[in-house]
Structure 1
Amino acid sequence: MSQPFRYYLKVRYGECDAQKVVFNARYGDYVDLASSEFINALGFVSEAGSGQLDWQLVKQTIEWKAPARFGDVVEISVSTLRLGSTSFTLGFDFRVLGREGITAHCETVYVLVDDKTLGKRELPANFRASLERGASGRICDHAGVYAVNAE
């Protein structure tokens, strides 16, 4: 089985709540970062930046299983779960490095929209094919995990 796209981040102090764990709303921020990097890894950086490809979040479901804390490095695996004619659903599995198991799982439904009217539009064939293929084995490391391990 191939490795999914993985995004790494390090939990910052300001992302934690009074219980000293990542505040629940931050997971939406983390998903936004991971999905952007996933789309970039698929090769659509300029299309996303220019508005040629624009999407809106229409549904997000998050299940928490265990906490992440200040200083933890979180790995977020991203994969395409479903494709519709105008929508795509991405799955996000959160893991804390050094711990067993998934700490959270998120499913997010996005709808592709026209950047001017915000009306729904069909997924272009090349974008659909890239979402189906995924970004297997690609990594975006904002935590410096690979830089530290390479030394």
Structure 2
Amino acid sequence: MPVSWSSPVRFVECDQQGVVFNAHYLVWADEASMVWWASVGLPWDELVEQTDPVVKASSLEWSSSARWGDTVTVDAEPERLGRSSLTVRFTVRVGERVCCAVRNTYVAVADGAAAPWPDDVRTRLEAALSAG
């Protein structure tokens, strides 16, 4: 089941035509990620005490534009768990209309290199993946 985060589209996030500038979809995914990590029992401040998850890759696939005056909802759900990586899909929508799908792949890092997820973190991530 996805975890959701919402926000009204602010004027500053739009171009002169009132369409959301593409980089803001990544910002919204980042906002939603904080809610998602906490929802699986890994609030960010506690997670970073055990490992340092960094975004290794992001992809965006647009379907339609969000515009000034809309309220966006971002649904976050895990898609794939690897030894040291995790891919989370963020579906950005206005009402039921999907605007963009963002996929972030996080990699657990220790001492500057990819490292396996700590056992207790992996257990929570596996549970989140199987619940989705």
TM-score (norm 1): 0.77
The alpha-carbon deviation at position 67 of structure 1 amounts to 0.7
The alpha-carbon deviation at position 103 of structure 1 amounts to 1.1
1:11 aligned residue: 9
Higher share in strand: 2
Task: Give the RMSD, CA atoms, in angstroms.
Answer: 2.0
Give the whole-Å Cα distance in 1 for the aligned partners of 2:15 and 2:50. Answer: 38
- Which of these residues, 85, 102, 124, is aligned with residue 106 of structure 1? 102
User: 5+ unaligned residues in a row in structure 1: which ranges?
Assistant: 138-151
The alpha-carbon deviation at position 132 of structure 1 amounts to 2.8
Give the alignment of 1:1-40 within 5 angstroms: 3-40=1-38
Bigger relative contact order, structure 1 or 2, given CA contacts below 8 A and separation 6+? 1
Give the whole-Å Cα distance in 2 for the aligned partners of 1:105 and 1:35. Answer: 14
Number of positions where the alignment pairs a residue of Structure 1 with one of Structure 2: 130
Partner AA of 2:100 in structure 1: A
Tell me the SS of whatever aligns to 1:107.
strand
Contact kept, 8 Å, 1:83 with 1:89, in 2: the verdict is yes
Partner AA of 1:55 in structure 2: P
Give the whole-Å Cα distance in 1 for the aligned partners of 2:61 and 2:10. Answer: 21
Contact kept, 8 Å, 2:50 with 2:118, in 1: the verdict is no
Contact kept, 8 Å, 1:95 with 1:104, in 2: the verdict is yes
Give the alignment of 1:79-90 within 5 angstroms: 79-90=77-88
User: 5+ unaligned residues in a row in structure 2: which ranges?
Assistant: none
1:126 aligned residue: 120
Tell me the SS of whatever aligns to 2:106.
strand
TM-score (norm 2): 0.87
Q: What are the superposed Cα offsets for residues 91-148 of structure 1, whole Å, 9 maximum, x if unpaired? A: 1111102xx431111111110112xx222111123222322332979xxxxxxxxxxx
Give the whole-Å Cα distance in 2 for the aligned partners of 1:131 and 1:74. Answer: 26
